[in-house]
A and B are shown apart, each in its own frame.
Chain A
Amino acid sequence: MTGGGTALALDGIAVRFGAVVALDGVSFTVRPGAICGLIGPNGSGKTTLFNCISGFYRPQRGTIALDGQPIIGLGRHRMAALGIGRTFQNLALFRSMTVRDNILVGAHPQGRSGLLASAFALPGPRREEAASRRRLTEVLDLLDLAGVADAPVTALPFGTAKRVEIARALIGQPRLLLLDEPACGLNHAEVAALEALLRHIRAHLSLTILLVEHHMALVMRLCEHVVALASGRCIADGTPAEVQNSPEVVRAYLGTPARDARAA
Chain B
Amino acid sequence: MNARRTALWLFGAALLVAPAFLMSGYRLFQLTSMAVYAVAILGLDIVTGYTGQVSLGHGAFYAIGAYTGAILMTQFGWPYWATLPAGGAAAALVGYAVGFPALRLTGPYLALVTYALAVAVPQILRARALESWTGGAQGIVVTAPDPPAFLPLSQDAYLYLFTLAVAALLFLLARNMLSGRQLRAMIAVRDHALAAEAAGIDIARVKTRAFAVSAGITGVAGALGAIVVQFVAPDSFAATLSIALFVGLVVGGSASLPGALAGAAFVQFVPNLAETVNKSAPGVIYGVLLVAALYLMPSGVAGALRRTLPARLRTSTSPGKATPLPNKGATIHVD
Q: Which residues of A contact B (CB under 8 A)?
A: 54, 56, 75-81, 85-86, 88, 92-98, 100-101, 104-109, 111, 113-116, 118-121, 125, 128-129, 132, 142-144, 147-152, 155-157, 159-160, 163, 168, 172, 186, 189-190, 193-194, 196-197, 199-200
Contact = CB atoms under 8 A, between A and B. Distances in A.
B181 A163 contact: no
A155 B325 contact: yes
A163 B332 CA distance: 9
A263 to B, nearest CB: 25
Contacts of A107: 181
A148 B325 contact: yes
B191 A129 contact: no
A216 B317 CA distance: 40
Contacts of B329: 189
A32 B179 CA distance: 37
B187 A97 contact: yes
Contact of B173 (A96, A119, A148, A156): A119
Given A92-B192, A98-B318, A108 B201 contact: yes
A194 B332 CA distance: 7
Interface residues of B, number: 46
A148 B196 CA distance: 22
A114 B206 CA distance: 10
Given A118-B176, A189-B330, A172 B325 contact: no
B131 interface: no
Contacts of A111: 181
Contacts of A95: 191-192
Contacts of A196: 332, 334-335
Given A97-B184, A125-B181, A200-B335, A77 B203 contact: yes
B201 A101 contact: no
Contact of A81 (B177, B200, B321): B200
B75 interface: no
Contact of B322 (A98, A168, A200): A98
B131 to A, nearest CB: 37
24 contacts: A75-B202, A80-B200, A94-B195, A96-B190, A98-B316, A105-B184, A108-B200, A114-B182, A118-B180, A119-B174, A120-B173, A120-B176, A129-B180, A142-B334, A144-B330, A144-B333, A147-B326, A150-B318, A150-B321, A157-B330, A186-B330, A190-B330, A196-B332, A196-B335
A239 to B, nearest CB: 25
B49 to A, nearest CB: 11
A79 B202 CA distance: 11
B39 to A, nearest CB: 15
A107 B324 CA distance: 25
Given A77-B200, A106-B199, A115 B177 contact: yes
A108 B330 contact: no
Nearest to B210: A115
Contacts of A54: 198
Contacts of B199: 80, 105-106, 108-109, 168, 172
B200 A79 contact: yes
B320 interface: yes
A199 B202 CA distance: 32
A105 B201 contact: yes
5 closest pairs, A vs B, by CB?
A80-B200, A109-B200, A193-B332, A92-B195, A94-B191
B209 A108 contact: no
B63 interface: no
B200 A100 contact: no
Contacts of A78: 200
A16 B170 CA distance: 50
B213 interface: yes
Contacts of A129: 180-181
Contacts of B177: 115-116, 118-119
Given A159-B330, A190-B330, A194-B332, A96 B184 contact: no
